[in-house]
Amino acid sequence: MSSPPIPTAGDEPAHLIAARNLHTWFELRQWGFLRVGAVHAVDGVDFALARGESVAFVGESGCGKSTLARTLLGLHRPTRGEVRFAGRSLGTLSGRQLKAYRAEVGYVQQDPYGALPPFLDVRRILAEPLIVHGVGARSERERRIRTALEEVRLSPADEYLGKFPHMLSGGQQQRVVIARALILAPRLVVADEPVSMLDASVRVEILELLRRIQQERELTLAFITHDLSTVRHYAERIFVMYAGRVVESAAVDDLLDHPQHPYTQALLAALADPDAANATRLREVPAGEPPSLLRPPAGCRFHPRCPHFMAGLCDRDDPPEFEPRSGHRSACWLHR
Amino acid sequence: MRGALWQTGWRELRRYPSALMGMAIIAGLLVLALYTVIAIPYPEAVAKWRGSEAWQDNPVNAAPIWLDRLVGGDAPRTQVVASEAAPIEERVFEGGRRLRIPLAFDYDAGGFPSELNLFLHAPGHEQPPFVRLAWHTPDGREIALGGHRIGADERISISQDRALERRLGGLAPHIGLLADPEREEGQPQVLPGRHTLLLDVLAFDETAAFDAELVLYGRVHGIAGTDHQRRELSLALLWGTPVALAFGLLAAVGTTVTTLAIAAVGVWYRGWVDATIQRLTEVNMILPVLPILVMVGTLYSTSIWLMLGVVVVLGIFSASIKMYRAMLLPIREAPYIEAARAYGASNARIVLRYLIPRILPVLIPTFVTLIPSFVFLEASLAVLGLGDPLLPTWGKVLNDAQSQSALYNGYYYWVISPALLLMLTGLGFAMLGFALDRVFNPRLRSL
């Protein structure tokens, strides 16, 4: 018996998953009980993803994108705000419903070797989610495991079922991770830097595999990445994150061709461009480092590094989201 | 697929001769334990060890036979001469009968017996029969041993007869009766040939049975010798094997499994659960185990199962918790654990299926080397006088040997045989454990 699907509240909403004013903070304590502050890893994020949509969350390391991924998966409890899945807030789910939710979301991690228990073989690794969710019959499990392996192009399945993770290449390991994320037939897959630890040669294969599965199954796919150069090929929308917030979001082509936020512009300027003329040209890279998430700067978080810094405004007031182009949002006072 | 893993492990292990030796020793001990439990059932072993009639034909403090023969000795074995085989002359008279029972035997051993006893059974006689004893030597002398009135079950300790000893010129009767009178100077020598103890019985009953049994106790006995209560040490050495193995194994399993589980629970839940476990461990670490065991044994009971329980309970919050915790902490943060949470695995499943199995390979060698330490603990307790009151064990043999000053009296076999078995057990498990350590922790291989 499989876990029952999450009951939807009233009308089926247009969005599969949405974040409303989402904050995930990590409290810092001294001597185990004194609160001395909090790391504002995710600090006020709003978005909504439609069914079958593929999006990318882009940002530097330490901008809170992985924490956002874990909060969406229900691994972190939001400090404030909520995650809504199919119209219901995760915070209101009972234990059983939360377990059912976990079957609705798949998780693809960054380090494929670490993501697989080294003492289990591939068959057992793929069987575990099925066992957890009460797929009791061995034959049924075997059938679904084989289907999942075929789907991630590990065939013939018999060749891989008995292998342990260390016997597989990095690309094969990541395929097993993807198969595990898909085996419960989720509606949402969160992929946290799925290719950053793989050889360049297999990155494209894995990304294309994810893209193809996403389209075939009409999955909602949320990529977490720091690599703007490849986003165009597998995401329809991009969210640019900076210091725990989404600073700019738009359709992929629009954002890459017409970046609005100064941070996005700086990121794109820093991308390597395969042009011989660039070899001798120095690039402008935003000075400084990402801000401390423990004490984020007042006003716009990017203002200490921003070339368009307006004193008295950017360092005092938080910029709201403006819509300088249609469907293209940017949180910057420049678009006022 | 699991099978493949075990096969590789076995292939690895076979490369270490010490592992094979260790396994051979352990297998030998297991076979011995199994044989013992089947051949000498528990109630029988306990009853025999408590002391019974069964031992009365055994000599006191006799060395193992093979030990004497090994050094070229010809020490006498125990000889039993029973009246069933003797040609009995019987004469019936009014109101009774007269029996002449010659208990004849050939004696040609290199040494004298250690003791001489005559057991007489005269059940069902209305009036106690009367026996006159005479010893006939091969050279035709007759030595009168006096007369006795016999009860239903009588034991005549000929060796203890002080008057006879004086008549034999100060030689103990078991020596003087068998000695060659021609050789007065130096050590007495055995007079080889046919000796006869003649029983002249006057019974006041025409039919009631009368049996006699002369025992010439030897100086060597069986494969392990005997102790001060005529008990065969082989019984205790045999029964010590299953007891030691069971105690060691149960204590090792009991402490390792619970300790590991508690450490894993602490690591997984963190916070106050972990803090409580850590404080309990720290308190428990400074509690002295041996004095507590002595206290329990003195005030309550020295039953081996109670001792086992106390050892396990005190071992639960042992220092190993700290070690397991240090090993589990990094695993807790492994991505595969996070993945398991993401697909909804329960806390119990994560602890039991993902956390603990990861460190099991490292624990197996530790576990194997832990077993003999508990075997030694049990023996130490027995030597301290806290052995199980009923069960014969190696430690209790050592305890008896110590209380009877075995080494001072030259009964080395009494100390060496149980000590050897203890060392063999330790050696077997240690050899296997070290080899396992090398298989599971390859970094040690170069050492």
ipTM > 0.90 (yes/no): no
* Interface residues of chain B, partner chain A, Cβ below 8 Å: 1, 4, 334-336, 338-346, 349, 353-354, 357-358
pLDDT in tens, B240-254: 999 999 999 999 999
H helix intervals, B149-302: 162-167, 173-176, 233-269, 271-285, 289-299
Question: Are B240 and B355 contained in the same domain?
Answer: yes
- Tell whether B225 is covered by a domain: no
Parse chain A into domains and list their residue ranges. 15-272+290-317
Distance from CA of B263 to the nearest CA of A (A): 20
HSE, CB side, 13 Å, CA atoms: give it for residue B190: 16
Q: Which of B335, B341, B344 sits opposite A133 (nearest CB)?
A: B344
Question: Are B267 and B205 contained in the same domain?
Answer: no
- Tell whether B325 is covered by a domain: yes
- Name the closest residue on chain B to residue A118, using Cα atoms: B358
The token pair that represents B333 in the structure block = 């943060």
Distance from CA of B269 to the nearest CA of A (A): 15
Question: Are B93 and B190 contained in the same domain?
Answer: yes
Identify the CATH number of the domain in which residue B431 sits. 1.10.3720.10
Distance from CA of B372 to the nearest CA of A (A): 29
Residues of chain A contacting B333 with CB distance shorter than 8 Å: none
If one counts the domains in chain B, the total is: 2
Provide the pLDDT for residue B375.
Answer: 93
Confirm if B179 and B167 have CB atoms less than 8 A apart: no
Please list the residues that pair with B143 across neighbouring strands: B135
Distance from CA of B342 to the nearest CA of A (A): 6
Q: Which of B1, B343, B354 sits opposite A129 (nearest CB)?
A: B343
pLDDT at residue B444 is higher than 70: no
B209: which DSSP letter? -
Give the type of residue at B218: G
Question: Are B37 and B144 contained in the same domain?
Answer: no
* Interface residues of chain A, partner chain B, Cβ below 8 Å: 3, 70, 73-75, 98-99, 102-103, 105-107, 109-111, 114-119, 121, 123-124, 128-129, 132-133, 162, 177, 180, 184
Give the type of residue at B421: L
Q: Is A52 left (phi over 0), alpha (psi -120 to 50) or beta?
A: left
Confirm if B111 and B76 have CB atoms less than 8 A apart: yes
- Angle, CA A297 vertex, CA A291 and CA A302 arms, to 5°: 65
Question: Are B202 and B301 contained in the same domain?
Answer: no
Distance CA B167, CA B183 (A): 17
Residues of chain B contacting A162 with CB distance shorter than 8 Å: 1, 4
Question: Are B260 and B304 contained in the same domain?
Answer: yes
What superfamily would CATH give domain A15-272+290-317? P-loop containing nucleotide triphosphate hydrolases (3.40.50.300)
Provide the pLDDT for residue A11.
Answer: 45
Q: Which of A119, A129, A184 sits opposite B358 (nearest CB)?
A: A119
- pLDDT per residue, tens digit, chain A (336 aa), is 444 555 544 445 678 899 999 999 988 887 767 788 888 888 889 999 998 899 999 988 888 889 999 999 999 999 999 999 988 888 888 889 999 999 999 999 989 989 999 888 899 999 999 999 988 788 999 999 999 999 999 888 889 998 888 889 999 999 999 999 999 999 999 999 888 888 888 888 899 899 999 999 989 999 998 888 778 888 899 999 998 899 999 999 898 888 999 988 888 887 766 666 666 666 566 667 778 888 888 888 888 888 888 888 888 888 888 888 888 999 988 887
The B115-121 sheet, strands edge to edge: B79-82, B211-217, B115-121, B153-157
- Tell whether B414 is covered by a domain: yes
Residues of chain A contacting B338 with CB distance shorter than 8 Å: 70, 75, 107, 109
The token pair that represents A138 in the structure block = 């061995």
- Tell whether B223 is covered by a domain: no
Q: Do B357 and A119 touch (CB under 8 A)?
A: yes
Question: Are B272 and B307 contained in the same domain?
Answer: yes
- Tell whether B200 is covered by a domain: yes
- Name the closest residue on chain B to residue A129, using Cα atoms: B343
Identify the CATH number of the domain in which residue B175 sits. 2.60.120
Question: Are B194 and B254 contained in the same domain?
Answer: no
Q: Do B341 and A75 touch (CB under 8 A)?
A: yes
Q: Is A41 left (phi over 0), alpha (psi -120 to 50) or beta?
A: alpha
Provide the pLDDT for residue A5.
Answer: 52
3-state class of B38 per DSSP?
A: helix
Residue matched to tokens 């085989």? B85
Q: Which domain holds residue B213?
A: 76-217
Question: Are B125 and B101 contained in the same domain?
Answer: yes
Q: Lowest-pLDDT range, B268-272, B274-278, B435-439?
A: B435-439
Interface residue of A128, A168, A173, A190 to substitute, partner B, most B CBs within 10 Å? A128
Question: Are B103 and B42 contained in the same domain?
Answer: no
Q: Do A162 and B334 touch (CB under 8 A)?
A: no
Q: Do A111 and B335 touch (CB under 8 A)?
A: yes
Question: Are B31 and B122 contained in the same domain?
Answer: no
Distance from CA of B438 to the nearest CA of A (A): 19
Provide the pLDDT for residue B27.
Answer: 96
Q: Do B339 and A184 touch (CB under 8 A)?
A: no
Q: Do B357 and A124 touch (CB under 8 A)?
A: no
| Concatenated DSSP letters of B84-123 | GGS--EEEEETTEEEEEEEEEEEE--SS--SEEEEEEE-T
- Tell whether B302 is covered by a domain: yes
Task: Please tell me which residue, A271 or B128, carries the higher pLDDT value.
Answer: B128
Q: What is the dihedral of CA B49, B50, B52, B56, to 10 degrees?
A: 60
Largest distance between two CA atoms of chain A: 68
Provide the pLDDT for residue B447.
Answer: 43
3-state class of B138 per DSSP?
A: coil
The token pair that represents A159 in the structure block = 């060749």
Question: Are B235 and B212 contained in the same domain?
Answer: no
Q: Which of A119-123, B40-44, B421-425 has the highest mean pLDDT?
A: B421-425
- Tell whether B118 is covered by a domain: yes
| Concatenated DSSP letters of B360-388 | HHHHHHHHHHHHHHHHHHHHHHIIIIIS-
Distance from CA of A202 to the nearest CA of B (A): 21
- Name the closest residue on chain A to residue B354, using Cα atoms: A117
Residues of chain B contacting A102 with CB distance shorter than 8 Å: 342-344
Distance from CA of B2 to the nearest CA of A (A): 9
Strands A322-325, B211-217: pairing kind = unpaired
The B89-93 sheet, strands edge to edge: B89-93, B96-107, B193-203, B130-136, B142-149
- Tell whether B69 is covered by a domain: no
